[in-house]
Homo-oligomer: A and B are copies of this chain.
Amino acid sequence: MNRFAFLILLFSPLLSSAQDNALAEDAFFIRKIYDEALTRSRCYDWLNFLTRRIGGRLAGSPQAAAAVEYTRRVLDSLQLDSVWLQPCTVPHWVRGEKEQARIVNSRKMGTVELNALALGNSVGTGPMGIAAEVVEVKNLDQVDSLGDSLHGKIVFFNGRMDPTQLNTFNAYGKAAGQRVWGASRASRYGAVGVLVRSLTTRLDDIPHTGSTVYEEGITPIPALAISTRDAELLSLLLREESVRVFMRNTSQTLGEAPSFNVIGEIRGSEFPEEIILVGGHLDSWDVGTGAHDDGAGCVHAMEILHLIKRMGYRPKRTIRCVLFMNEENGLRGARAYWKWSDEQGEYHMAAIESDRGGFTPRGFTADGHEDTFNEKFRKAIEWLPLLEPYGLAFRKGGSGADISGLKNQKGLLFGFEPDPQRYFDYHHTPIDGVDVVNQRELELGAASIMSLVYLLDKYGI
């Protein structure tokens, strides 16, 4: 608490005595939130169920349906004012049989199996697979330079995530284009398939999936991620000889399927029309069990309502938990929510998304409509003396994909920001399981979000 005292001192010229009292009361309540979250949270149990008993929850899958039903029941058990399912329609993509990728008859290495995963939305290669010469590129622009020479080839995108970025999400943002747009770009020039280096700063054997998007009008070609170590090997080999790769996947999109966002809320006692949303996305990739991405965000959001109830806190404003469907490969749940919310004439005074894992909290990114953002952000910054003792900071930056479309309602949009160092070790992989989520770190996340919700609710913005 030394640091806290120091901060109060630092900000004291700004405070009247009434403000001093309110500050002390708020500091006390926030301390109670942390005590409660660290001793009586249910979020880790819920995450255990979601991941170990339900598993990966790709939109359209039976597991996604089970996750809808399970979380609805959990929210029901919290005795909220209302719990409902909001329909949406999602693409139903299936991975198919275990992917195959191998270097074929290399002069130096012989035949080498590669650790591969089809990218989400990828078409299949057909049952016989494809084999072709590989051409390495580092980014999308290089594809354009090589142009028609790529005809009949497999394009190997080997862009690296920059390890010197302290915030791994910045490095991810810069490198993700090859995964999202690589297949479309290569297809323009007649390539027959793409291999994409996995998006992680680690060197290991674990492939990372994630969505690829086919631009309209192009011929969709199959796209596989390969592990970073395999990418390094392939790149080394390509310096020495021409390399052929065989790839096979039987992925396909089965059409569309009905699904749901899961929503629970506590109505505000004074300003029920001012909504504070807390959310995550309920779907995950099919490999692994979506523990950090984004089971953690879902159970954070559910835990906020649980904490409010357990602590007997009566919110002035409406606190709504939304578990969005299909963030990973379509954002259909979020779009359905935005449309519905606008049609109702709703006002989201604030929305907080947790979609960066269940690690030790570092703070929140904040975003909003250009007309009102700076003024509102200044107001939020006044709360820093209450949040900094818990290691929390604010910075300007994108909030979360699922809430980004609420910007037109002119509230403040926050992204919960935990420590980012380990997230891309697990992101979109078979090893994203509850065993790599630390219970205390997860609980601290719930407490951090709840602290911000409390301040938003008490003071408005």
Which residues does A use to contact B, with CB under 8 Å? 2-3, 34-35, 38-39, 163-164, 166, 168, 201-202, 360, 362, 390-391, 393, 395-396, 419, 421-422, 425, 438-441, 444
Contacts and interface: CB of A to CB of B under 8 A. Distances in A.
A364 to B, nearest CB: 13
A441 B201 CA distance: 12
Given A421-B360, A422-B441, A441-B422, A163 B393 contact: no
B422 A390 contact: no
Contacts of A425: 438
Nearest to A6: B395
Contacts of A390: 166
A195 B439 CA distance: 26
Contacts of A3: 393, 395
B421 A34 contact: no
A202 B439 contact: yes
A419 B360 contact: yes
A43 to B, nearest CB: 14
Nearest to A391: B362
A1 to B, nearest CB: 10
Nearest to A389: B166
B2 A39 contact: no
Given A3-B395, A439-B202, A440-B201, A163 B38 contact: yes
Contacts of A421: 360, 438, 440-441, 444
B393 A422 contact: no
A438 B422 contact: yes
This protein's copies in its complex: 2
14 contacts: A34-B164, A38-B163, A163-B440, A166-B390, A166-B391, A166-B444, A168-B440, A202-B439, A360-B360, A360-B419, A419-B419, A421-B438, A421-B441, A422-B438
A35 B164 contact: yes
Contacts of A396: 2
B163 A395 contact: no
A166 B39 contact: no
Contacts of A35: 164
Nearest to A390: B166
A421 B440 CA distance: 7
A38 to B, nearest CB: 5
Contacts of A438: 421-422, 425
A38 B360 contact: no
B439 A164 contact: no
Given A360-B419, A421-B444, A441-B421, A166 B395 contact: no
Nearest to A35: B164
A390 B393 CA distance: 13
A39 B438 CA distance: 27
A82 to B, nearest CB: 32
A103 to B, nearest CB: 27
A164 B422 contact: no
A39 B163 contact: yes
A374 to B, nearest CB: 13
Count chain B CB atoms within 10 A of each CB in A168, A396, A439 and give the residue with the most. Answer: A439
Given A34-B164, A422-B440, 8 more contacts: A35-B164, A38-B163, A38-B164, A360-B421, A362-B391, A421-B438, A421-B441, A425-B438
A159 to B, nearest CB: 16
A440 to B, nearest CB: 5
Contacts of A38: 163-164
Nearest to A443: B163
Count chain B CB atoms within 10 A of each CB in A201, A360, A391, A425 and give the residue with the most. Answer: A360
A167 to B, nearest CB: 10
A35 B419 CA distance: 19
